Amino acid sequence: MSGKIKRGITRAIVQRFISCLIAVLSIAYGPHVFAQDELSRLMPDDLFRRNIGTEGQLDAQFPPHQIIDNIYYVGTQSLASFLITTDAGHILVNSDFERNVPTIRNSVEQLGFDFEDIEIIIGSHEHGDHMEGNALAKNLGQKSLLLQNRSPDLLI
């Protein structure tokens, strides 16, 4: 498969994934976002911990499951990772922290897929809790990293 065709297929899959994810999250969490009670005054560390979860939640496997069609949740209790399955190879969105890669691999395999069939790794954005595990995940098979912008030195 030529690189141009592969990029076109990948772009279409990513666009479909993002559309589906926005729809699912809007339905699931929309009412809660707009119906919040008044929040107490929180310090930056409090906000960070509230948003990212406890140390245990960062590492604990969340039951892997199908979200919709060919999109699966394979992350932890507080760090989202997604598997998009295709006949041409699978796509992993967010490798999370390096220590989470074995958990993600286990989730992928619990769903009946082979981690080695992941062809592409995409990070939602350049934070360690979304992309630190890229190098380890890439080394577990022949995978390509898709970079979101021009900062590859920040990723590996």
136: three-class secondary structure by DSSP:
helix
- Sort strands 144-146 and 118-122 into parallel, antiparallel or unpaired: parallel
Q: Tokens 């509230």 appear where?
A: 50
156 within domain boundaries: no
* Residues spanned by the domain of 21: 3-149
CATH number at residue 19: 3.60.15.10
138 within domain boundaries: yes
Question: Is the overall model pTM greater than 0.85, yes or no?
Answer: no
Q: Please, where are the H alpha helices in 1-154?
A: 3-34, 44-52, 55-59, 101-110, 128-131, 134-139
- What pLDDT shows up at residue 144? 66
- The total of structural domains in the chain comes to 1
Q: Which residues of 59-93 are buried (b: 16+ CB within 10 A; e: fewer)?
A: bebbebeebeebbbbbbbebbbbbbbbeeebbbbb
27-49 confidence digits (pLDDT tens): 665 555 555 555 567 777 777 77
134 within domain boundaries: yes
81 within domain boundaries: yes
155 within domain boundaries: no
126 within domain boundaries: yes
Tell me the DSSP string of 65-107.
EEEETTEEE--BSSS--EEE--TT-EEEE---SGGGHHHHHHH
121 within domain boundaries: yes
154 within domain boundaries: no
80-119 confidence digits (pLDDT tens): 899 999 998 899 998 888 898 999 999 999 999 999 999 8
